[in-house]
Amino acid sequence: MENLTIVDVISLIASLASLILAVVAIQAAKSSEREVRNNFEKTQNMMVEYESRMKDVLSEIDKKSAVIERTVSESQRELMSTMTNIINETVIPKKRDMGEELGIQFLQSMMSNPQQAGSMIEGLAPLIDLMEKHKG
């Protein structure tokens, strides 16, 4: 060991330091790999959990959207029916109903002359009898 020069000593110390640093680097790499693997597994588990929750939420949304769709469809049908009735009653002229017109004229004549109302009703008695026979 006496023959070692200063360069040899420095070279030996540098080699030992390099060896120590290599061992430390290997240990750090193993530790880092463990952490990355653990983080990956945690992330994977979290993603599976979120996927399950998302499926549940989408299932609920599907159920509620079906109910909403059915409600809207029924409301649209009812609105269409109402609009058709309104149009039929207001825009499209009604066909004349002779029975209604005769009834209105009869009521007007009864109101204008209440004294003759009794005789008018007696005049209708044969028609009422005829209708009852026709029904039976």
Answer whether residue 34 shows pLDDT above 90: yes
Q: Provide the pLDDT for residue 89.
A: 75
SS3 1: coil
Quote the pLDDT of residue 92: 65
pLDDT at 116 over 80: no
End-to-end alpha-carbon separation of the chain, Å? 141
Position 129 scores a pLDDT of 81
Q: What contacts 24+ positions apart, CB below 8 Å, involve 5-13? A: none
Residue 37 pLDDT exceeds 70: yes
Its pTM stands at 0.41
As a whole number, mean pLDDT of residues 26-35 equals 96
Q: Which two tokens stand for residue 56?
A: 């549940």
Residue 113: left (phi > 0), alpha (psi -120 to 50), or beta?
Answer: beta
What pLDDT does 114 receive? 73
Q: Which two tokens stand for residue 112?
A: 């204008």
What pLDDT, on the 0 to 100 scale, is given for residue 25? Answer: 95
Burial of 84 (0-12, 13-18, 19+ CB in 10 A): exposed
**3-class DSSP assignment, residue 93:** coil
Closest among 128, 131, 132, 102 to 110, alpha carbons compared? 102
Q: Is residue 63's pLDDT more than 90? A: yes
* Structure confidence at residue 132 (pLDDT): 83
Q: Where are the domains of the chain?
A: 98-136
